Amino acid sequence: MPLSFGVHIPTCIEGMMYPVPFARPEDILPIAQLAERVGFDSVWGNDHMTTQRYVQREWPDPPNFYEPLITFTYVAARTERIRLATGIIVLPMRTMPVLAKQVATLDQLSGGRVILGVGTGAYREEYEALAPDARGARRGEIVDEGMQALRLLFTERRATYRGRHVRFEEVECFPKPRQAPLPMYAGGNHPEVRRRAGAWSQGWMPAVLSPEEIARGVDDVHRAAAAAGRDGSAIDIAPQFACSIGRTHEDAVRRFHASQLYKHLESLKRSTLRDQQAGGFEQRNLIGSPEEICERIRAYERAGVTTCSGILFVANTVPELQEAIELFGREVIPSFT
């Protein structure tokens, strides 16, 4: 199977990966349509409910966070083949029967194009803002329960789940997704995420890892799959990268270090990316000329990557983002089809 490519569209990325303001509502659909036109297989959107403290300190105005599932419904109506992927939906901030209903509806309306990436979320402060009485809760436990509960809601006539955090009884959640099974990806770098991917998921979606780190993670996912009686080779290995594509290596590096996206990665050094310090971000992302990026992607392919999910292109304006998407589609994707 050829390598798949996904691009991150503006949902909840303003103020973190991109400046404030960045994309207007009328910019979102043309970006998705451009991605479909130049050969991307999927568009990805992430999930935030309130502004992070470091973003509040940096920007005088609050960012606009467009809810991803509603955004994808808008995109689905005006595209034909491109898949619609959450990267990620933060399960601790969601109610499982409501989320299942939303996702199944989107899968039906889009003709079976949804990929549901889920995880704990990078910022615990968001969860605590929404649930101040649950400050001591282990979000990983919520994700474990949520993934199992969602699968029941997607498949059972009447779904009941009685967990520590997730509880519901005799829920008839219809329509079911058009896809059976609806692909659910476990998002994150923590060893527990690799366990979830092997045990329950159709994909593993880490972020900003080197080929060597990916290869070790693939081994963990396959061991977890074998322990669960599943075929690990069928699990999509779908890491997310930042991409700074330039005509020369020096141009790409300069763009990367001057970008808001670089500042965002720096902000994650004590949380999501705390174990990815050695070697720097340049060794864990796609930075360089088109030829250099192709060579880098081949190294990831050899490590077991089957999808480059939700690529975050370096840009400070929407036209710069569109230019990068078009350049990647014209000079990188054809090398892998």
The yes-or-no verdict on residue 278 having pLDDT over 70 is: no
Q: What is the pLDDT of residues 203-223, one digit of tens each?
A: 999 998 999 999 999 999 999
Of 55, 40, 38, 33, the residue nearest 7 (C-alpha): 40
- CA 149 to chain centroid, in Å, comes to 20
pLDDT for the residue numbered 258: 86
Count the Cβ atoms, other than its own, within 10 Å of residue 274: 11
pLDDT for the residue numbered 262: 81
The encoded tokens of residue 129 equal 């803002």
Could you give the CA distance from residue 283 to residue 293 in angstroms, rounded to a whole number?
12
The yes-or-no verdict on residue 166 having pLDDT over 50 is: yes
- pLDDT band per the 50, 70, 90 thresholds, residue 279: very low
Please tell me the pTM assigned to this model. Answer: 0.94
Residue type, 305: V
Read off the CATH number of the domain in which 218 is found.
3.20.20.30
Question: For residue 145, what are the domain limits?
Answer: 4-336
pLDDT for the residue numbered 247: 87
CB distance 314 to 256 below 8 Å = yes
Q: How many domains does the chain have?
A: 1
The yes-or-no verdict on residue 268 having pLDDT over 80 is: no
Residues contacting 231, CB < 8 A, separation 6+: 225
- Please state, for a pLDDT cut of 70, what percent of the chain lies above it: 96
Q: Quick check: helix, strand or coil at residue 213?
A: helix
Q: Which residue has the tokens 């000079």?
A: 331
- β-pair type (240-245, 307-313): parallel
